[in-house]
Amino acid sequence: MSILSKKIKNLNDGESFNFNYKNKKYEFCCYSYSDEKKHYSVRDASSFLGAGMNVEKITKKYISLYDYNLFNVRSTYKIPVNSIEV
C-alpha cells in the first residue's frame, strides 16, 4: 500500500492532508454524513474558500473528481496518482 493510500485510508471525519500536484498545493479532505460512509473532496489549499471538487473514485492510477457549476453542468478531472507528491 502506498503512502498516499495509507493517508487516505486513515482519514477520519473532518481530517485532511496536503499534497502537491503540478507545483500547486491541494488539500484532501474527509467527510462523513449520517450514512457514516466516508466522502472525500480535493480543494485548492491556498484559497480561503478553496475551489474544490468531490472525489468520485480512487484507483491505483487516478483520483477521479467531479463538481457541478451554477447551471448544474458536471465537470470532471482525473489526477494521476503517480503525479502526486505527499
Tell me: pLDDT of 50 over 70: no
Residue 4 is classified by DSSP as: H
Q: Which range of residues forms the domain containing residue 19?
A: 3-85
DSSP 15-82: -EEEEEETTEEEEEEEEE-TT--EEEEEEETTSSS--EEEEEEE-SSEEEEEEE-TT--EEEEEEEGG
| Closest residue by Cα to residue 68 from 41, 49, 39 | 41
pLDDT range class, residue 1, cuts 50, 70, 90: low
Each residue's pLDDT tens digit, 69-79: 999 999 999 99
Q: How many domains does the chain contain in total?
A: 1
- Give per-residue pLDDT as tens, 23-46: 999 999 999 887 778 999 999 998
